[in-house]
Amino acid sequence: MTIQCIALDLDYTTLNSQGQLSTYTRQALTCAIQRGVHIVVASGRALDSLPEEIRSFDGIRYAVTSNGAAVYDLRDHVCLKQYKLGEQSVREILRLSEGLHIACEAFIDGRPYAQADYVADPMRYGTKSVSYIKNTRTPVDDFRSFVLQNAANLDCMDLVIDDPKLKTELWELFEDKVPDIYITSSVGQLLEISYKDCGKHSGVRFVLERLGLPRESLAAFGDGDNDAHMLEFAGIGVAVANASEACRAAADRIAPSNDEDGVAREIFRLLGTEERA
């Protein structure tokens, strides 16, 4: 079946390691759009932390954000679909993680908030993307109280854990004790928690239904564990060469890495041309 929609993870997939679109990738996206292919952002990022060059890219209309917790129409600036974490689930997550050396982030209507000491020094909790955290997170001093006050309004939560063993233990604990959540992980130090019906695949399915397109017409690109379900759902799932083991296992094809224009090269292949736009 002809590919009519392309879903793109951003970080370390479509964006290079500097967090930017290469010239070649911009050409590939433009070429696809000109041929009538729908380009859909499918990111773990919240709306407010999407790169401006993505939000303003002419022809990119839909964005699946926060691992499927919210879907936005970027052209009309409206939220089309949104899930919220259950209030009791938020309280239980806080209770089960209390006293541990972890950082916490919370997202409300597409805006990221994080505990102040994490924003001040992200590397203290194992995060290397210092400028990204400092530029996108609103710091909150008494973060636990903030989350409890907004427990009924959270799109999702992230726990930043610089200990793989502790991350695994908490993942298993949450799955056992908190029944109505979806857990995934885009990078090693993150546990990303949203409502049980979330996931990038869920958000992309919603967009396809809105467009009246079958899943077979979808090509999806990713690099992280949080992309695996989306790649399995798509007619063609493409992992970049730098992808995680789980993402690669879910893929139908492996493209060159994000720093080798893997997404662009595969898009041109799907379009049946190697010509630059």
60-80 pLDDT, tens digit per residue, is 999 999 999 999 999 999 999
Provide the whole-model pTM.
0.95
List the Cα angle 61/215/24 in 5-degree steps.
50
pLDDT one-digit tens code per residue, 6-33: 999 999 999 999 999 999 999 999 999 9
Average confidence score pLDDT of the chain: 96
Class for the domain spanning 87-195: alpha beta
Task: Report, as an integer, the average pLDDT of 203-221.
Answer: 98
With the CA atoms of 198, 43, 244 and 84 taken in that order, what torsion angle do they form, in degrees rounded to the nearest 10? -30
Average pLDDT estimate for 185-208? 97
Domain boundaries, the chain: 5-82+199-271, 87-195
**What band does 273 get if pLDDT is binned at 50, 70 and 90?**
confident
What distance in Å separates the CA atoms of residue 150 and residue 244, rounded to the nearest whole number? 34
Comparing 277 with 163, the larger pLDDT belongs to 163
In contact, 233 and 205? CB cutoff 8 Å: yes
pLDDT at 128: 86
Residue 276 DSSP SS3 = coil
Q: How confident is the model at residue 274 (pLDDT cuts 50, 70, 90)?
A: low
Q: Please determine, for residue 276, whether its predicted confidence score (pLDDT) is greater than 70.
A: no
Q: How confident is the model at residue 277 (pLDDT cuts 50, 70, 90)?
A: very low
Question: What is the predicted pLDDT for the residue at 87?
Answer: 97
Tens digit of each residue's pLDDT (9 = 90 or more) over 140-154: 999 999 999 999 999
Write the pLDDT tens digit of every residue in 98-110. Answer: 999 999 999 999 9
| Three-class secondary structure assignment of 24-78 | HHHHHHHHHHHCCCEEEEECCCCHHHCCHHHHCCCCEEEEEEHHHCEEEECCCCE
* Percent of the chain whose pLDDT exceeds 70: 99
How far apart CA 66 and CA 121 sit, in angstroms, is: 23
| pLDDT higher than threshold 60 for residue 196 | yes
Phi, psi for residue 95 in degrees, rounded to 5 = -65, -45
CB distance 6 to 219 below 8 Å = yes
Q: Flag whether pLDDT at 1 surpasses 80.
A: no
Tens digit of each residue's pLDDT (9 = 90 or more) over 237-259: 999 999 999 999 999 999 999 99
Q: Check for a shared fold between 5-82+199-271 and 87-195.
A: no
CATH number assigned to the domain covering 5-82+199-271: 3.40.50.1000
